[in-house]
Amino acid sequence: MTVIPYSNRISIRDFLAWRGIQPKYERNGYGMYLSPLREERTPSFKVDYVQNLWYDFGLGEGGTLLTLVMRLERCDSREAVRRLQNGEKGDTGIASISPGIGEPLGVGGALSVVRPATVPALRILSDASLRHPALVGYLASCGIVPPVAAAFCREVRYEINGRAFFAVGFRNDAGGWELRSARFKGGSSPKHITTIDNRSDTVIAFEGFMDFLAYLSLKYPERLRIDAAVLNSVVNLPKAVPFISRHPVIRTFFDNDEAGRKATADLIRLCPRSEVIDQSSFTRT
């Protein structure tokens, strides 16, 4: 059995390759994979090669190699570290981590080493008014007008493994942030929904905040007078049901894919007293 040396922290890209998992396509600085955590046909598992982080858009979860091993092996952080560290001793270690179904047991050669895994994945440093030209330009390229961006977004500085970055931030109801830039898509804990309560009988519901902002930009300068709920991932739908279900009219702008259609179907089932109108044709897929 091939034992892959471990020292500090391993590249997620190489770790997945060792398990026989290759990206379906790559762009500048990241790769998109079929999720190793669940079954899917469209790649929605992103690995950022620069920051050495993963994010599963279907689950709304992400993190470091350590958190990935914890999810794959269903173990705690202590056990995940032990399995990684034992690899360099010639013990079971990383070579004992269960390969996925139909994946080879190992590939020769050492994995590349990056920063230590003990550093928290993402830490918010500060937030301020949205001013940086790169972020303003990014939102403009997505069809989001400045007044809408200014009303709902902040310029967030955050830290990953000792390195500082900045991104467009969209705050959720629990105080966490959804973060976006031209090169990054992720978020901070706690994960939660974002609601706008204007005491209306109608609510519009979106999976992600970029579609929500795009919708408002198309309506601009008309102000938002109805209620809104942004899930920040379809996995958060149960958290949104108490707010959404109180509205007689529910308009869903979820993605026009299997997950989005299921979310709309779930609302129809969970909100029997409301009229649920599927408007997924609006969203970008």
pLDDT by 10s per residue, the chain, length 285: 333 344 346 789 888 877 768 888 888 889 999 888 887 778 889 999 988 899 988 888 888 888 888 888 778 888 888 767 754 343 333 433 443 322 222 333 334 433 333 334 678 999 999 999 999 999 999 999 999 999 999 999 998 767 889 999 999 999 999 999 887 878 888 889 999 999 999 999 999 999 999 999 999 999 999 999 999 988 899 999 999 999 999 999 998 878 888 999 999 999 999 999 999 887 654
Q: Which domain holds residue 227?
A: 194-282
- The confidence score (pLDDT) of residue 100 equals 34
Residue 166 maps to a domain: yes
- The confidence score (pLDDT) of residue 86 equals 59
Decide if 237 contacts 262 (C-beta within 8 A): no
Dihedral angle sign, alpha carbons of residues 242, 245, 247, 252: positive
As beta bridge partners, residue 45 has 33, 56
Tell me the one-letter amino acid at 108: G
- Using CB atoms within 10 Å of the CB of residue 133, give its burial: 0 to 12 exposed, 13 to 18 middle, 19+ buried: exposed
Decide if 46 contacts 31 (C-beta within 8 A): yes
- The confidence score (pLDDT) of residue 9 equals 60
Gap between the Cα atoms of 91 and 88, Å rounded: 7
Using CA atoms, how far residue 195 sits from 146, 198, 205, 226, 234, in Å, is: 21, 10, 9, 11, 14
What tokens appear for 270 in the block?
């969970």
Residue 2 maps to a domain: no
Judgement on whether residues 202 and 244 belong to the same structural domain of the protein: yes
Judgement on whether residues 218 and 266 belong to the same structural domain of the protein: yes
- Residue 102's CATH number: 3.90.580.10
- The confidence score (pLDDT) of residue 92 equals 30
Q: H or E segment at 111?
A: none
Decide if 46 contacts 32 (C-beta within 8 A): yes
- The confidence score (pLDDT) of residue 40 equals 76
Residue 3 maps to a domain: no
- Residue 218's CATH number: 3.40.1360.10
Residue 216 maps to a domain: yes
- The confidence score (pLDDT) of residue 121 equals 60
What tokens appear for 61 in the block?
């979860």
Max CA pair span of the chain:
65
Secondary structure of residue 75 in the 3-state scheme: coil
Judgement on whether residues 24 and 106 belong to the same structural domain of the protein: yes
Total domain count, the chain:
3
- The confidence score (pLDDT) of residue 94 equals 40
What tokens appear for 104 in the block?
């080879």
What tokens appear for 168 in the block?
């467009």
Residue 1 maps to a domain: no
Residues in the chain: 285
